[in-house]
Amino acid sequence: MTKIAKLYIVPTPIGNLEDITLRALRILSEVDLILAEDTRTSSILLHHYKINTPMQSHHAFNEHKSVEAIAKKIEDGCTVALISDAGTPGISDPGFLLVRTCIERGILVECLPGATAFVPALVNSGFPSDSFLFEGFLPVKKGRQKKFKIFSEEHRTAIFYESPYRLVKTLLDLSQFLGPDRQACVCRELSKKFEENRRGRLEDLAKWYQEHPPKGEIVLVVSGTT
């Protein structure tokens, strides 16, 4: 079967290595090159499934410089798969610039369905999921308060990614702008051994994590205003 040169966007597990599709494994085995956010992290997954496809680094610090060269490789007949450390590339991870460049140059792009952290967090929260707002990572400084003021009027469930080092500050800020009684769910280490989904008032969650400093990857889900 003749290969068609294109860019594949391939989701990878957010924790448990079993959370990868059979199709994703086949694509990663068949392409000419895998672009990885961190080759050391991705080598664990590839080694586990005995995939020996060559890898090249593609991350937030070099993607602006490398997208044109990668697009040229695909135009010359190379099949390329883009993966991130965990989840779906382009969702709070590198990928958007490369996808846009390929589309602008008429290169085929195909995104496989698969793992992404905010979907299980939303479902686990028990909050309405028929309509929701995914914000990704909040601004650390500039524009942060403006965002919170907007969220204070938001009727939809809101989803954020957060660092364990900033979780308490974010919970306190949300409590200030949305009210201490607003319900939220902190989803930590999803799909991993120590997965935790802690639900409660923003104020209570802030207090809990002040006393129990969190570790690992965190998704914060906040109920909308009623």
Q: Encode pLDDT of 20-65 as tens digits.
A: 999 999 999 999 999 999 999 999 999 999 999 999 999 877 778 8
Nearest to 201 by CA among 218, 178, 217, 226: 178
At 2 the pLDDT is 60
Q: 118-222: which CATH topology?
A: 3.30.950
One-character DSSP codes across 12-53? B-SS-TT-S-HHHHHHHHHSSEEEES-HHHHHHHHHHTT---
Q: Are 170 and 164 spatial neighbours (Cβ–Cβ below 8 Å)?
A: no
Percent of the chain beyond pLDDT 90? Answer: 86
Pairwise CA distance, residues 153 & 132, whole Å: 13
Backbone φ/ψ region at 53: left (φ over 0), alpha (ψ -120 to 50), beta: beta
The predicted-structure confidence for 160-199, as pLDDT tens digits, reads as follows 999 999 999 999 999 999 999 999 999 999 999 999 999 9
Span(s) in the chain for CATH 3.30.950.10: 118-222
pLDDT at 105 over 70: yes
Q: What are the start and end residues of each CATH 3.40.1010.10 domain in the chain?
A: 7-111
Instruction: For domain 7-111, give the fold.
Output: Cobalt-precorrin-4 Transmethylase; domain 1 (3.40.1010)
Q: What is the rounded radius of gyration, in angstroms, for the C-alpha atoms of the chain?
A: 19
Single-letter code of the amino acid located at 106: G
Question: 57: helix, coil or strand?
Answer: strand
